[in-house]
Amino acid sequence: MVSYSTPLSDLFIKTKAENRAALIGYLPAGFPTIADSAKVIAAMVKGGVDAIEIGFPYSDPVMDGPVIQNAAEQSLKQGTSASDVFNLMAETTKLGVPAVVMTYWNPIERYGVDNFLKDLKANGGSGVITPDLTIEESAQWIESSTSHETNRIYVVAPSTSDARLRNVTAATSGFVYAASLMGVTGTRTSVASSAEALVAKLRGVTELPIAVGLGVSTPDQAREVAQYADGVIVGSAFIRLLQESSSIAEGVEKVRELAKDLSRGLSRA
C-alpha cells in the first residue's frame, strides 16, 4: 500500500471530486526540437491538459506506432539526452501540472536506477511509466521507486488475466495505464470495445485510478472513454498535428485547440 502522495495522485483526487476524467497529454522530449517541446507542452496545458507524459526517446520503441516512432527518431537525431528530458520535466511542472516520464527500461538501467529517480524528483516529476518492464523483473524498481516516493505506473492490456491484473495493480501507484487494445500507439477511427471491458475488470481488483491510452484522438472518443475511465491519454493526435504543420507556431496553436476540444467533454453524465 502506497502511503505517500504526489502531484499526480492529488490530481486524481481533484478530478474525482469534480466528477470528470483527467486529460493526460504525451510528447517525446526534444520533439519537434529540444527548444520547442516546452512550447508544445505549454500549449497543451493552456488548452486544458491536466497532466503530461514526457517520452524518453528510445531507438527501439516496441509499444509505439509510426507517428510516435518518427517523432522519437527526429528527437534522437537532434541529440536529445536524459538531461533534456529532466529539464523539460522541470519546465512542465513549473506550469502547475503533474508530469511523469514514459520510458523503456534500458534508458533507466543505463542512467542508474537511483540516479534516475533522484533526478526525476529533483525536477518535480511524480512518476514513471515503464511499458516494457514486467512485474517479475521489478524487485529493484519497486524498492527504489518506493524509497524515492515515486509513482510506479505499469501498462496492462485486454489480454491480461485476472490473476495477473491483481499482481500488477498491487505494485502500481498513481494510476493504472490501460491499453485500449492489443497493438501499438496511434490515432484510430474508434476506441476498441475492449477498453471498457478492461476497465471493468480492473475495477474488480484495484481502487487505483485507471487511465486509458492507445487510440484516443478525437473529442468524441475522449468523451466516450471519460464515462468509464478516470483518465484519458492522448499522444499521437498531438504529434500528428505538429508533423503536419508548416511552422512551429501553427503546430502549437493546433495543439492548444485540440487540447481545448478534448477537455470540454471529460465531465461524466
Instruction: Report helix, strand or coil for 51.
Output: strand
Active site residues: 53, 64
Task: Tell me which H or E stretch contains 17.
Answer: helix 7-17
If one counts every other C-beta atom within 10 angstroms of the C-beta of residue 194, the result is: 16
Distance, in Å, from the CA atom of 97 to the CA atom of 120, rounded to the nearest integer, reads 15
Distance, in Å, from the CA atom of 22 to the CA atom of 15, rounded to the nearest integer, reads 6
CA nearest to 50, candidates 252, 176, 211: 211
CA distances 15 to 59, 121, 156, 179, 234, Å, are 35, 23, 22, 21, 17
Half-sphere CA count of 213, side-chain side, radius 13 A: 29
